[in-house]
Structure formats: C-alpha cells, structure tokens
C-alpha cells in the first residue's frame, strides 16, 4: 500500500522500502529463460523432507527456501541461485513429482524435442525493480521499453503519481492489490502463457513473499509444461544518501495533519534540550569506541537537525534543502585546494587557510562574536584564547587581565593555554580523566 500524501508535502516513500530490489528477488535474479526440468526425470528429487522439488536457493542467497518438511508444493530447484540458461541438456524433460506430491507427472516422451531443437518460448514474466526514492517518470530506457511493449502490466496499489506518468506513456497497469500474494503470482504465470509478456511493477514495500509464491507456481507449471521465462530488470536504483529522503518523508508525515500530536507542537526552543542531550550522547558514543552505539546516536542527532529544518520550513523561509545547500557551498568555498586551483599543503596549512577564509567571510564579526555562550567553560576558554592568539595578543597579559587576581581562574586559563600549545582539547582531556576515575566503594 502506498502511503497517503500528507498535506503540505510530497507523497512519502516507505522508509522500510528496499533499495531497487524486490524482497527476495535473488530467487529469480539474472533469469531470462524457462526453468529446466531435472537432469534425470526418473530420479527422485532432493528437496528437504517431503518437498516435491529441491529448493533453488544457494547457500549464499538471501532468499529463504520454500520447501518445508511437510510441503507438497515444489519450489524453484537449482544449486545456483541464478536461473540456468535455455541451453540445458534436456529442456523439454518435465520435473518429476515426488512420491507424496499431489501434482500428476507426465511421461518425458510427451514433451521431449529432437536433440538440439530449439524450445519455443511459452511467455515471459518481467519483474521490474525500482526505488521509491526517484521522481515518478524516471526510469531507465529498457524499463520504459518493456512497459510499452508488454501485453499487460500488473501492479499492487501503484502510486497515483506513477499512474499519471504511465498514462502519458500509453501504459495502463492493472491494479491487483485485492488479490493475495499467491493469487498475484498465479495470475502472472497463467497470463504469461501462450507467448504473452507480462510486466510486474514492483511495489514500494518490495512485494514480500511474491518471489516465493512465483517459484511455487512456476514449479507446478513445469510439471505439465514449460513455464514462462522470468526476467528481472532494474528500472531505477538508489544513490548513496538516498535514505535521507526517507527521513524527510517520515518527518513530513509526523508534522502534517493526522501525524503525531507531540511532534506537531514542538518548536525550536522546546527541542533545544534534546539537541544538547543528543550531541553529548554522540560524544559519549565516540569515546566508547562502539560503532553500533555511534551509529544509533548519530541517527538521533540527525533527527534533531531534520526536526529543526522541518520546523523552519513551516515558520521561516528555509528548509532542509536550503540547509544542505548552504553547507555544501561552504565546504566547497573553504576547500579551494580540492575544488579549485589553490595549492594543497600540510594539514596545518589547510587549517590556516580555512581560518583565513572564515575570517574573510566573517569580516564584520568583532571580538568573540560567534563563540557560543553555552559552550562548557573549558571549551569556551580554548576558543577565546585561540582567537586572541591568532590576533597576536599576548596571552599572559590577557589572562592576568581576565583573572583580576583570582589565582584559581588564572591557573585554569594557563592550563587551557598549555593544552592549546600541545594541540590538545582541554575539555576532552578532563572528560576522559573523569571517565577513568574510580568510584568509591559503598
């Protein structure tokens, strides 16, 4: 089911949708030919338990097997997860039924063809895989070709925006959302018989269970006749970072009418405690050296960025696109040694260049402007002393003037100067020491 379009936003993509793939599509991947019969029509099949036909999934395939212990329904059989080519040794030999199979068997001579003779095509099923993170109408040229020449196109609850794109191309898909997964697979196999070509338009959720059901129907068909060929085509795929679009979509849904009441009432001010908390949790995750923990906390911090951008979209004149465009422009501008012809020196020279470009951009800034007042004291002191040093101010004199006879304050500031001289982070050093402190025994 495609999610309903929230007011004020585009139709959200399903956040759990796979990237350019049907769920379990490996079961039919690279297949453009019919499934051959077993090599020895007289030999029993090797499916697990009482399954009529061995399963088709290799050990490294992501597709679960369909052959349960008590199953009498065969599934696609082959040790290689890719379907074999048409040039099988005996393409016309039917797959024999197991002892307990409910399907009738046919004598091999009834379907046998002369040695070397071509087997006529019995139809084709095209599984068209797409990503829901591209705009409607954006498909590869081969995908559009197959849609336009197909005898029929089936889909389950297709996105209305895609229906408009199909209509412009003269493609009219049949919506079979009312059918069960097994019935959809049966329609594909039956309707593709007799030389017809059917295209299945992949759903945003990856059509869970469809390839397994299709394997069952193809195996049943292969007992009595050659089944239709199956071909997998990728019409579109995700680029790196595409899942960020899912986050934009989810946030749009949460903030739109009918979404979450709590999320809808948040403001920049009400979100500040969460932003501060998540930033500190990221620091903790980095220092714990736990990748899984860091991944989770970075996601929580990213949510805060997306949340504030969404609030701004409703109350100001910018949103997440403007936020992203701004930081991209800044990174390009401050890396002239990468994106322009400036010479690339050492890391220290790059840092000096960054500060010079930053000062040029902030030419109107005075004194300590731009240093957050809410920074922890040691971090704030290091920022302020660093700015004084770059301006050529004598730090000893600055410390004496600031301390005004307070020896403790002067000592703390000198420690920060010492940390800066050693290219150390005073705040991080103290935090690490506190983390190593042994608690008292209670």
Choosing from 237, 267, 301, the residue where a domain stops is 237
Tokens of 101: 């199979």
Structural domain includes residue 336: no
SS (H, E, C) the chain: CCCCCCCCCCCCCCCCCCCCCCCCHHHCCCCCCCCCCCCCCCCCCCCCCCCCCCCCCCCCCCCCCCCCCCCCCCCCCCCCCCCCCCCCCCCCCCCCCCCCCCCCCCCHHHCCCCCCCCCCCCCEEEEEECCCCCCCCCCCHHHHHHHHHCCEEEECCCCHHHHHHHHHCCCCCEECCCCCHHHHHHHHHHHCCCCCEEEEECCCCCCCCHHHHHHHHHHHHHHHCCCCEEEEEECCCCCCCCCHHHHHHHHHHHHCCCCCHHHHCCCHHHHHHHHHHHHHHHHHHHHHCCHHHHHHHHHHHHHHHHHHHHHHHHHCCCCHHHHHHHHHHHHHHCCHHHHCCCCCCCHHHHHHHHHHHHHHHCCCCCCCCCCCCCCCHHHHHHHHHHHHHHCCCCHHHHHHHHHCCCHHHHHHHHHHHHHHHCCCCHHHHHHHHHHHCCCCCC
Q: Give the model's pLDDT for residue 366.
A: 74
Instruction: State which residues form the domain around 81.
Output: 20-237
The pTM assigned to this predicted structure is: 0.60
Verify that 233 and 378 share a domain, yes or no.
Answer: no
Structural domain includes residue 91: yes
Tokens of 418: 């010492």
CATH number of the CATH domain containing 173: 3.40.1010.10
Q: Which of 199, 221, 205, 223 is nearest to 2 (CA)?
A: 205
Q: Which of 349, 327, 426 is nearest to 386 (CA)?
A: 426
Cα-based distances in Å from 24 to 58, 171, 242? 12, 27, 21
User: Per the structure, how many domains does the chain have?
Assistant: 2
Tokens of 13: 């993509």
Q: Give the model's pLDDT for residue 326.
A: 96
Q: Give the model's pLDDT for residue 120.
A: 52
Structural domain includes residue 97: yes
Choosing from 203, 237, 271, the residue where a domain stops is 237
SS (H, E, C) 25-45: HHHCCCCCCCCCCCCCCCCCC
The CA-based diameter of the chain, rounded to the nearest angstrom, is 107
Tokens of 170: 């003269």
- Cβ–Cβ < 8 Å for 253, 151: no
The sheet with strand 124-129 has its strands ordered as: 174-175, 152-155, 197-201, 124-129, 229-234
Q: Which of 306, 197, 193 is nearest to 255 (CA)?
A: 306
Choosing from 237, 256, 289, the residue where a domain stops is 237
Structural domain includes residue 199: yes
- 161-164: which pairs have CB atoms within 8 A and are 24 or more residues apart? 161/11, 161/136, 162/136, 162/137, 162/201, 164/136
Return d(Cα 385, Cα 37) in angstroms, integer.
79
Structural domain includes residue 277: no
pLDDT tens sequence for the chain (442 residues): 344 434 444 444 444 443 434 444 444 443 333 333 334 433 333 333 333 333 333 333 333 333 333 333 333 333 333 333 333 333 333 333 333 433 333 333 333 344 444 445 489 999 999 999 989 999 999 999 999 999 999 999 999 999 999 999 999 999 999 999 999 999 999 999 888 999 999 998 999 999 999 999 999 988 888 899 999 999 999 999 999 999 999 999 999 999 999 999 999 999 999 999 999 999 999 989 999 999 999 999 999 999 999 999 999 999 999 999 999 999 999 999 999 888 877 888 888 888 788 878 776 677 888 888 888 999 999 999 998 998 899 999 999 999 999 999 999 999 999 999 999 999 989 988 988 898 888 7
- Cβ–Cβ < 8 Å for 416, 426: yes
Structural domain includes residue 11: no
Structural domain includes residue 128: yes
Structural domain includes residue 142: yes
């Amino acid at each position: 089911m495609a999610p309903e379009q929230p007011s004020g936003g585009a139709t959200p993509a399903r956040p759990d949708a796979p990237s350019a793939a049907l769920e379990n599509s490996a079961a039919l991947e690279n297949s453009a030919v019919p499934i051959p019969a077993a090599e020895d029509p007289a030999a029993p099949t090797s499916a697990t338990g009482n399954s009529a036909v061995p399963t088709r999934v290799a050990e490294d395939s992501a597709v679960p097997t369909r052959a349960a212990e008590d199953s009498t329904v065969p599934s696609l059989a082959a040790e290689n997860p890719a379907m074999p080519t048409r040039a099988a040794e005996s393409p016309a030999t039917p797959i024999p039924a197991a002892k307990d199979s409910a399907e009738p068997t046919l004598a091999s001579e009834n379907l046998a063809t002369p040695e070397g003779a071509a087997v006529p095509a019995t139809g084709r099923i095209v599984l068209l895989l797409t990503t829901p993170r591209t705009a409607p109408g954006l498909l590869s040229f081969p995908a559009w070709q197959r849609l336009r020449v197909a005898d029929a196109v089936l889909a389950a609850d297709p996105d209305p925006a895609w229906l408009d794109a199909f209509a412009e191309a003269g493609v009219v898909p049949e919506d079979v959302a009312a059918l069960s997964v097994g019935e959809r697979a049966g329609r594909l196999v039956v309707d593709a018989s007799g030389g017809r070509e059917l295209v299945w338009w992949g759903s945003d959720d990856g059509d869970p269970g469809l390839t397994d059901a299709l394997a069952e129907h193809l195996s049943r068909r292969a007992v009595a006749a050659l089944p239709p060929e199956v071909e997998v085509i990728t019409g579109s795929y995700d680029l790196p970072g595409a899942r960020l679009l899912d986050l934009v979509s989810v946030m749009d849904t949460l903030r739109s009418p009918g979404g979450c009441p709590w999320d809808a009432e948040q403001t920049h001010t009400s979100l500040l405690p969460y932003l501060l908390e998540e930033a500190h949790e990221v620091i903790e995750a980095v220092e714990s050296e736990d990748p899984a923990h860091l991944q989770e906390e970075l996601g929580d911090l990213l949510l805060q960025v997306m949340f504030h951008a969404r609030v701004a979209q409703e109350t100001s004149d910018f949103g997440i696109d403007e936020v992203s465009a701004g930081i991209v422009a800044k990174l390009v501008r401050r890396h002239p040694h990468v994106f322009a012809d400036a010479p690339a020196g050492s890391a220290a020279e790059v840092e000096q260049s960054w500060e010079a470009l930053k000062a040029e951009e902030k030419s109107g800034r005075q004194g300590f402007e731009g240093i957050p007042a809410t920074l922890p004291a040691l971090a704030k002191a290091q920022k302020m002393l660093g700015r004084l040093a770059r301006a050529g101010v004598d730090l000893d004199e600055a410390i004496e003037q600031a301390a005004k006879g307070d020896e403790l304050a002067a000592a703390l500031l000198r420690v920060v100067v010492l940390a800066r001289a050693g290219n150390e982070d005073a705040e991080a050093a103290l935090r690490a020491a506190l983390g190593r402190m042994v608690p008292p025994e209670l």
